[in-house]
Amino acid sequence: MAGKSIDTARRATENAAMDKLSVMNAYCRIVERDSFARAAEDLGVSSALLSREVKLLEESLGCTLLTRTTRAMSLTDAGRLYYEEAIGILDAVGRVEDHIREGAGRVRGHLRVNASSSFGQMVIAPVLPAFLEAYPDLRLRLSMDDRVVDMVEGGFDVSIRVRPAMPDSSLVARRIGTVRQRVFASPDYLLRAGTPQRPDHLPEHCIVGFLLAGHLTEWALTGPDGGQTVSLDPLVRVGNSLVLRDLLIAGQGIGTLPDFVSDGPEGRGELVRVLPDHELPAPEIFAVTASRLDMDAKVSAFLDHLRAALRTEHS
């Protein structure tokens, strides 16, 4: 109940502040137009409403601001002082609003980005030079780790994640692309252990997997004969796909890698695809933010660059 009372009081205070600015603006328009009727027409309200607002304003100040007769209207000394001060306040508010509106559309300030180590190193880092050159007024902080982060506590504007964990319902995940996930091993390992010809051959091999909840790792493979899910017990589990890549290159077994990690080693012949006629589901990449409001300009610009990089990766 106390929280509701505080919220109600806060809203009342905010409304009162807005009402004061509205009355201030109306009063200045009356003075400038030298007429309640003309000011009312400008503001789209009735003369009676303006008259009532000025009366309430005078009562709150304890003095007369305007003297009115049937033919003329004039300012008292207090009315002239109020007008001069009010004009200054309204001008200042207008400048602040203009500055905020201008800044809202500009890519400037500090951008705090969080991503997994592998995605940050292999996808985000290569796009940063062009991005920072395009927006020289921006200051970037890129934090890379493989744990679930607290967006608010970490002060992040956006976190880039594959299949993000969403423990906080206030977070918003926006899909920005997909990655291809495939099965790989080194030529040396396959020469030594043999090459699986079917998904059900995989349990006979050394598997290098990701750190996931549960004892077994499941790979859902789709091939010419349809889909098959294989349960595997990895010999080694790691929480970083770059480490997993290095273990596969070193001949430690068979594992799955996203394309942004596997493309280089595959192109150099360090890794080869296992079960090349089978596909794994394509994980989606999400931009996670802490607000349901529209993204500001710097986050939007960053994600535009990232989407372009992902499209190029998959073209």
Domains and CATH numbers, the chain: 2-104 (1.10.10.10), 109-179+284-314 (3.40.190.10), 181-273 (3.40.190.10)
The interaxial angle of helices 259-267 and 241-249, nearest 10 deg, is: 20
Q: What are the tokens at 176?
A: 């920005």
Confidence of residue 313 (pLDDT cuts 50, 70, 90): low
- Which pLDDT score, from 0 to 100, does residue 168 have? 57
298, two tokens: 């710097």
The DSSP secondary-structure symbol of 283 reads: P
pLDDT tens-digit readout, 188-225: 999 999 999 999 999 999 999 988 655 678 899 999 98
Decide if 230 contacts 200 (C-beta within 8 A). Answer: yes
Q: Is the pLDDT of residue 242 over 60?
A: yes
Q: Tell me: pLDDT of 3 over 70.
A: no
Share of the chain above pLDDT 70, in %: 85
CA–CA gap between residue 55 and residue 120 (Å, rounded)? 63
Condensed to tens digits (0 to 9), the pLDDT of residues 143-161 reads 998 877 777 778 888 999 8
pLDDT the model gives residue 289: 85
- Exposed, middle or buried by CB within 10 Å (0-12, 13-18, 19+), for 214? exposed
pLDDT of residue 166: 56
Question: Which range (8-12, 60-64, 120-124, 139-143) has the least confidence?
Answer: 8-12
Rounded mean pLDDT of 158-178? 76
Higher per-residue confidence, 293 vs 277: 277
pLDDT for res 103:
61
Q: In this structure, what token pair is assigned to residue 70? A: 């049937």
Average model confidence (pLDDT) across the chain:
84
Tokens 């300012």 identify what position? 75
Where is mean pLDDT largest: 22-26, 268-272, 282-286?
268-272
> d(Cα 103, Cα 97) in Å, to the nearest integer?
10
pLDDT of residue 12 exceeding 50: no
Percent of all residues in the chain with a pLDDT value above 90, rounded to a whole number: 45
pLDDT in tens, 249-276: 999 999 999 999 999 999 999 999 999 9
- Do the beta carbons of residue 208 and residue 273 sit within 8 Å? no
Strand, coil or helix: 223: strand
Decide if 206 contacts 193 (C-beta within 8 A). Answer: yes
The pTM score is 0.64
What is residue 146's predicted lDDT score, i.e. its pLDDT? 80
pLDDT of 6 strictly over 50: no
Nearest-CA neighbor of 218 among 227, 266, 226, 247?
Answer: 227
Distance separating alpha carbons of residues 139 and 152, to the nearest angstrom: 19
